[in-house]
Amino acid sequence: MAAIPTETVYGLAALATDEDACRSIFSVKGRPLIDPLIVHVAAFSSIPAFAEPVEGLDKLAKTFWPGPLTVILPKRKAIPDLVTAGKPSVAIRIPDQKAALSLLAKVDGPLAAPSANPFGYVSPTRPEHVADTFGEKVPFVLDGGSCRIGVESTILDMRDPRRPGLLRPGAIGRTQLEECLGRSIRICPSVVSSVETALAPGTMERHYSPGTPLFLFESEPPADAGTSRQAVVFLQPPRERPHPIPAHAHAYWWSESGDLTEMAQNLFSLLRRLDAAGYVAIHCQLPAGEEPLAVAVRDRLRRAAAGK
Q: Please give the residue ranges that form the binding site for ligand TXA (CB under 6 A).
A: 6, 8-9, 11, 35-38, 68, 70, 72, 84, 87, 89-91, 95, 113-115, 152-153, 155, 199-203
CB of 202: closest distance to Mg ion in angstroms? 5
CB of 281: closest distance to ligand TXA in angstroms? 26
- Is there a contact between 245 and 175 (Cβ–Cβ < 8 Å)? no
User: Which single residue brings its beta carbon nearest to ligand TXA?
Assistant: 202
> β-pairing, 2-4 with 165-168?
unpaired
Cα(226)–Cα(245) distance, integer angstroms:
8
Q: Which does 36 bind (CB under 5 to 8 A by kind): ligand TXA, Mg ion, none?
A: ligand TXA
Q: Per CB under 5 A, which region of 49-57, 110-118, 231-239, 270-278 contacts Mg ion?
A: 110-118
281-285 sheet: strands from edge to edge: 214-217, 281-285, 230-234, 250-253
Cα(16)–Cα(33) distance, integer angstroms:
15
- Is there a contact between 217 and 285 (Cβ–Cβ < 8 Å)? yes
Applying CB under 5 A, which of residues 70, 97, 115, 285 lies at the interface with Mg ion? 115
Q: Measured from the CB atom, is 38 or 264 closer to ligand TXA?
A: 38
69-74 sheet: strands from edge to edge: 2-4, 11-15, 111-112, 38-40, 89-93, 69-74, 154-157, 165-168, 186-187
Cα(4)–Cα(7) distance, integer angstroms:
10
CB of 92: closest distance to ligand TXA in angstroms? 9
CB of 122: closest distance to ligand TXA in angstroms? 11
CB of 249: closest distance to Mg ion in angstroms? 30
Q: Which does 203 bind (CB under 5 to 8 A by kind): Mg ion, ligand TXA, none?
A: ligand TXA
Residue 6: how many CB atoms within 10 A of its CB?
28
Q: Measured from the CB atom, is 68 or 127 closer to ligand TXA?
A: 68
Q: Which residues bind Mg ion (CB under 5 A)?
A: 115
